């Protein structure tokens, strides 16, 4: 029997697991709740217990695996297989992760940042079609990303590469970002960023719009509400999507003007707007790219949804095949 | 005797040659004029003749070389070792380059784009200090660049990676670029771009400045004049450097926010302004980067000058050492 890969996607609410073939096909998947109580001290033991239980259930042993990989929030040390400052897990201090899991399960372990891992997944069997040059951006609570260039995931000198959300798209008069800067992509293209753009545009919009009315009335409006309204013909909501598309098109174009990837793959909750959002990004991408890039780099919507994490994590383990 | 590398830097005015050690030390260098007459048909034969002559002069033969590399303008095919559309060489159609040189000299040959090759040079033994993550930008007649990420020169899907000059830094009301877009970095940070910025700012400047006076009188003003005046305290010229520094800082920051290189190395004629320019770029780089990148990525001035081309070209030949 061909050996398998194990992928672990560690998140603040759930830990997702997958058993995959070496070709990236998910054969089994399951999830457990993330228990962040007591400084997250149960997380690693829970992961170990869950894997042990499932391997027994499926009649598998460590010999059936090439290795396992994990995507984690926080700052990941890929040499020591540790995680630091993953605040949504209550992991403030450095946590031993890989050493414990490896010791208990006897399977080689690799780890990387969650956005990087999702990028690897989408690149491998998702919209990236296993091309050596793929850029992934995820539009959710924040805006994150991962860059695969010439076949390698790019970490950078300080390990901070791929932070697409902190590209500056509004150098003057931008919204304040959690990073301390102003005008980051995240402030205008995350789920909350889209709403911020709507609030700003609402100040000057004078036509009829139930979205503008809701904003002016202080009702809760989500980025999804805005995209749904725009698709149904609400002109104000459409102007918000246009503005957000402009920012995303500019960021995608500037990334592509320097990296010329096969594709920029857009994922995350906001990307649920699908083709409606993609077209809008592409319109501005075409405006801001120079001809050779315009002809060769594509804007795509992510295909793997929540599975990107376990698939990308599993792909980290491919390195142990050699 | 340890084997050597041969580097060729093909330009529109001269072809530069270098014989280097495997550690990147230039042992011999020379140059010939580039004869672009008759559709540039003499260029490759001239290169072959010059190398043959020099090898004889130095008592060297093909056995003394690991390989040779070349940097060329135009679109380079790295598989076929050909060059297309190098208009400053009068090479409109595809030219056989590597096959002819290899056949005549019997030394393995590799080729890449001139800006990429200069980036490799600066990264290897110049300001990049052989770090695996280095971004090079060259400010000259145009603005070009090259990106080394995770140890690899990034070419991208369509071979157009590294075109830093076509990043958009002024999405609205930017100057027209030769690429057909508006607001590219090249339009405000190349030698002519700096002058364009000066002309625009001159319209609104009301103080005394001999640079502004020269512009208003229709006299010829160069980017060098502007930097020299700014350093001598001309307030108007200083405002031009400030604006150019802002654009370069924004571009460097956005590159670094996604790639987090060890350094962004600034070369080319405009970079002769040295520390005066570097400080100005760094000021805005610090403004536009997020904390992890601000702490780890450095802005540096290139160190190799004209030798970057032959050194980077020679480094291409290192691949034949295996």
The per-residue pLDDT for range B83-96, each reduced to its tens digit, is: 998 888 999 899 99
CATH fold match for the domains A4-120+307-320 and A131-303: yes
Residues of A in contact with B288 (CB under 8 A): 168, 171, 181
Three-state secondary structure along B91-108?
ECCCEECHHHHHHHHCCC
Contacts of B322 (CB under 8 A, 6+ apart): none
Picking from A133, A156, A292, the nearest residue to B260 by CB comes out as: A156
Q: Look at the block and give the residue holding tokens 């924004």.
A: B250
Work out the average pLDDT over A34-61.
96
Nearest CA in chain A to B163: A258
Q: What is the DSSP letter of A274?
A: T
Give the integer Cα–Cα distance in Å for B195 and A237.
42
Residues of A in contact with B255 (CB under 8 A): 258
Q: Is A257's CB within 8 Å of B145's CB?
A: no
Instruction: Supply angle C-alpha B200, B206, B208, rounded to 5.
Output: 105
Residues of A in contact with B156 (CB under 8 A): 133, 149, 259-261, 293, 296-297
pLDDT at B31 over 90: yes
Q: How many CB pairs under 8 A join A and B?
A: 170
Work out the average pLDDT over B230-259.
98
Give the integer Cα–Cα distance in Å for A292 and A130.
22
3-state SS, residue B292: helix
Which residue in B143, B140, B43 sits closest to B86, CA to CA?
A: B43
Q: Round the CA-based radius of gyration of chain A to a whole number and report it.
A: 21
Picking from B145, B147, B296, the nearest residue to A160 by CB comes out as: B296
Q: What are phi and psi of B86, to 5 degrees?
A: -95, 90
Picking from A157, A161, A259, the nearest residue to B161 by CB comes out as: A259
pLDDT at B106 over 70: yes
Bridge partners, B224 (sequence order):
none
Give the integer Cα–Cα distance in Å for A239 and A232.
13
Kindly report the pTM of this predicted structure: 0.94
Percentage of chain A exceeding pLDDT 70: 100
Q: Is A158's CB within 8 Å of B292's CB?
A: yes
Return the number of other C-beta atoms located less than 10 Å from residue B175's C-beta.
18
pLDDT of residue A122: 97
The band of B1, judged by pLDDT with boundaries at 50, 70 and 90, is confident
Q: How far is CA A26 from the centre of its chain?
A: 19
Which residue in A281, A280, A287 sits closest to A257, CA to CA?
A: A287
Bridge partners, A67 (sequence order):
A5
pLDDT tens-place string over residues A111-122: 999 999 999 999
Contacts of A204 (CB under 8 A, 6+ apart): none
Cβ pair A7, A20 in contact under 8 A: yes
Cβ pair A140, A165 in contact under 8 A: no
The band of A298, judged by pLDDT with boundaries at 50, 70 and 90, is very high
Bridge partners, B136 (sequence order):
B146, B265
Residues of A in contact with B157 (CB under 8 A): 131, 133, 260-262, 296-297
SS3 content of chain B, % helix, strand, coil (to 5): 45, 25, 30
The ipTM, to two decimals, is 0.93
Bridge partners, A266 (sequence order):
A137, A301
pLDDT at B109 over 70: yes
Q: How far is CA A242 from the centre of its chain?
A: 23
Percentage of chain B exceeding pLDDT 70: 100
pLDDT at A322 over 70: no
Picking from B159, B253, B295, the nearest residue to A168 by CB comes out as: B253
Return the number of other C-beta atoms located less than 10 Å from residue B232's C-beta.
10
pLDDT of residue A169: 98
Residues of A in contact with B253 (CB under 8 A): 168
Joined together, the tokens standing for residue B164 give: 């830093």
Give the integer Cα–Cα distance in Å for B132 and B155.
15
DSSP assignment of A13-76 equals SEEEEEEE-TTS-EEEEEEEE---HHHHTTHHHHHHHHHHHHHHHTT--GGGEEEEEEEESSEE
pLDDT tens-place string over residues A167-200: 999 999 999 999 999 999 999 999 999 999 999 9
Superfamily for the B131-303 domain: ATPase, nucleotide binding domain (3.30.420.40)
pLDDT at A25 over 90: yes
Picking from B164, B253, B295, the nearest residue to A258 by CB comes out as: B164
Do the bridges between strand B82-84 and strand B14-20 make them parallel or antiparallel, or are there none, so unpaired?
A: unpaired
Three-state secondary structure along A127-183?
CCCCCCCEEEEEECCCEEEEEEECCEECCCCCCCCCCHHHCECCCCCCCECCCCCEC
Domain spans in chain B, listed from the N-terminal domain onward: 4-120+307-320, 131-303
Q: What is the DSSP letter of A218?
A: T
pLDDT at B211 over 90: yes
Work out the average pLDDT over B10-22.
96
Q: Round the CA-based radius of gyration of chain B to a whole number and report it.
A: 21
pLDDT at B291 over 80: yes
Joined together, the tokens standing for residue B229 give: 């005046």
Residue A59 C-alpha, separation from nearest chain B C-alpha, in angstroms: 40
CA atoms within 13 A on the CB side of A277: 25
Work out the average pLDDT over A286-306.
96
pLDDT at B321 over 90: no
Residue B261 C-alpha, separation from nearest chain A C-alpha, in angstroms: 5
Start-to-end C-alpha separation, chain B: 17
Cβ pair A256, A291 in contact under 8 A: no
Nearest CA in chain B to A285: B168
pLDDT at A54 over 70: yes
The band of A1, judged by pLDDT with boundaries at 50, 70 and 90, is confident
User: Where do the H-state alpha helices sit in A173-263?
Assistant: 186-189, 191-202, 210-216, 223-231, 235-259
Q: Look at the block and give the residue holding tokens 């502004």.
A: B212
Cβ pair A185, A248 in contact under 8 A: yes
pLDDT of residue B322: 66
| Architecture (CATH level 2) of domain B4-120+307-320 | 2-Layer Sandwich (3.30)
Q: Is A260's CB within 8 Å of B156's CB?
A: yes
Instruction: Supply angle C-alpha A141, A83, A72, rounded to 5.
Output: 40
What does the buried/exposed string (b/e) look like for A295-315 if buried means 16 or more CB atoms within 10 Å of the residue's CB? ebbbbbbbbbeebbbbbbbbb
Contacts of B76 (CB under 8 A, 6+ apart): B82, B83, B111, B112, B113, B159
Return the number of other C-beta atoms located less than 10 Å from residue A102's C-beta.
16
Q: CA of A263: how far to CAs of A134, A298, B181, B254, in Å?
A: 5, 4, 21, 19
Return the number of other C-beta atoms located less than 10 Å from residue B194's C-beta.
25
Joined together, the tokens standing for residue A53 give: 């239980």
Q: What is the DSSP letter of B41?
A: T
Which residue in A310, A231, A263 sits closest to A19, CA to CA?
A: A310
Q: Residue A27 burial by CB count (10 A; 0-12/13-18/19+): exposed, middle or buried?
A: exposed
Work out the average pLDDT over A205-212.
94
């Amino acid at each position: 029997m061909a050996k398998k890969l194990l992928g672990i996607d560690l998140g603040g609410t759930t830990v997702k697991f997958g058993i995959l073939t070496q070709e990236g096909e998910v054969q089994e998947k399951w999830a457990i709740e993330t228990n962040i109580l007591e400084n997250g001290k149960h997380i690693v033991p829970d992961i170990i217990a869950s894997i042990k239980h499932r391997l027994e259930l499926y009649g598998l042993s460590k010999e059936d695996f090439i290795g396992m990989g994990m995507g984690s929030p926080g700052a990941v040390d890929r040499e020591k297989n540790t995680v630091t400052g993953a605040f949504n897990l209550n992991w403030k201090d450095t946590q031993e992760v890989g050493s414990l899991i490896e010791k208990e399960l006897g399977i080689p372990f690799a780890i990387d940042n969650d956005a990087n891992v999702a990028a690897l997944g989408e690149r491998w069997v998702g919209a990236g079609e296993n091309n050596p040059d793929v850029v992934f951006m995820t539009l959710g609570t924040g805006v994150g990303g991962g860059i695969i260039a010439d076949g390698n995931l790019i970490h950078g000198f300080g390990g901070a590469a791929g932070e697409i959300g902190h590209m500056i798209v509004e150098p003057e008069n931008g919204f304040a970002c959690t990073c301390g800067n102003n005008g980051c992509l995240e402030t205008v293209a995350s789920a909350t960023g889209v709403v911020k753009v709507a609030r700003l545009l609402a100040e000057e919009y004078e036509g009829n719009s139930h979205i503008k009315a809701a904003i002016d009335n202080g009702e809760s409006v989500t980025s999804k509400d805005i995209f749904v309204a725009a698709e149904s013909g609400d002109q104000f909501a459409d102007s918000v999507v246009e503005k957000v598309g402009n920012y995303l098109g500019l960021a995608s174009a500037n990334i592509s003007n320097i990296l010329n990837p096969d594709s920029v793959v857009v994922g995350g909750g906001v990307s649920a707007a699908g083709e409606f959002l993609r077209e809008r990004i592409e319109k501005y991408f075409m405006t801001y790219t120079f001809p050779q890039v315009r002809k060769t780099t594509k804007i795509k919507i992510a295909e793997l949804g929540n599975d990107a994490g376990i698939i990308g994590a599993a792909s980290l383990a491919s390195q142990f095949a050699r």
